[in-house]
Structure formats: structure tokens, C-alpha cells
Amino acid sequence: MGAASDSPQAAFARFVRRAIDDAKDERGWSVTDLAAHTGVGRSTVFRWLAGDWHDYPELAKVRGFCAALDVPVTAAFRALGLPDGEPVPAERAGRPPTGGARGAGTRKRADDQADADLRVILSRLADPNVPADEKQLIRDLLRYLAQRPVRRAG
């Protein structure tokens, strides 16, 4: 197998294909039915199937897709190449944080999320199986973010 077939796009496309085939066999769902039940648009499903994406899929959509199909979200994360199928915190996945007013606890969770994100980024940059063009994209995005002016709220 070549490097292209080992890409996150190819692995996630295989994962999505299996999930769609199972939904068709077990529930009689078409792609339109699947889109309605999962909250993931048909065009997004077809992009996932084709491996036609450069930025990772929105994790809220991946979670919705998996939840509606009773598929463990960790399987999707493994297909996407997240280390050990490591789930992303709920807040990053599009769910609102639970709990009270914004304070030290919320800042700590945000810092923990940033640390987790940085570990994933560093592991991808160090992984010999990640294509060089993907590593360059990560570096370019980091450079852009580092040089971007900070916008203040208010």
C-alpha cells in the first residue's frame, strides 16, 4: 500500500464507507436518510467518502455522525490519526461547557485543551507516516497564527 492509502483522508473514507454500508444494511438508510439522522450534510458525507478534505472534519459533525450510527467515536478518531483514538474534549467538539460562570475552571479547561491540541500537533510533526506536505501545512498555519495580530474582545 502506498502512502496515499495510509493518509487520514483515506482511512477516514474507509471508516465512513463502512458506517454507511452498515446503516444501509441494518437500517435501510440512504445517504439522504443518513444525513438527516446524523446532522451531517450530504455534500459533507460525499467529501468524507472521497477523502476530499484538507482540514480535519469538524469534530462536532464526526461526533453526531458516530452517535446517530451507534459507532464509537474513538474509531473515527483512530481513522483520523489522532493518537490512541484520543477523544477531543466536549467543548472542542462543539458542545457547550457545563457548569457555572466563566472563571478559573473554564480557563483551566481551555489551557488543558490547548495542551492536548499541541501534543497532537507535535506528534503529527514527529510522525514519519505523516506526509511532508501535511507537515508543511501545519508549519505554515502555525507561522500564520504566530504572526497574526491579537484581536481584543469588546
Each residue's pLDDT tens digit, 108-127: 677 777 777 777 887 777 77
pLDDT of res. 105: 64
Contact call for residues 19 and 36 (beta carbons, < 8 A): no
Question: 28: pLDDT confidence band, cut at 50, 70 and 90?
Answer: very high
Helices (H), 86-150: 104-126, 132-147
Whether 93 has a pLDDT exceeding 60, the answer reads no
Task: Give the residue-averaged pLDDT of 20-34.
Answer: 92
Q: Is pLDDT larger for residue 25 or for residue 85?
A: 25
Q: What is the DSSP string of the chain?
A: --TGGGSHHHHHHHHHHHHHHHHHHHH---HHHHHHHHS--HHHHHHHHHT--SSPPPHHHHHHHHHHHT--HHHHHHHHT-GGGPPPPTTTTTPPPPSSSSSHHHHHHHHHHHHHHHHHHHHHHH-TTS-HHHHHHHHHHHHHHHHSPPPPP-
Domain ranges of the chain: 4-147
- Is the domain defined by 4-147 classed in CATH 1.10.3720.10? no
Question: 48: pLDDT confidence band, cut at 50, 70 and 90?
Answer: very high
Task: Give the residue-averaged pLDDT of 6-33.
Answer: 91
Query: pLDDT tens digits for 62-73?
Result: 989 999 999 888
At 91, list the grid cell: 467543548
Question: 2: pLDDT confidence band, cut at 50, 70 and 90?
Answer: very low
Q: How far is CA 14 from the centre of its chain?
A: 15
At 30, list the grid cell: 440512504
pLDDT of res. 140: 78
Task: Give the residue-averaged pLDDT of 85-103.
Answer: 45
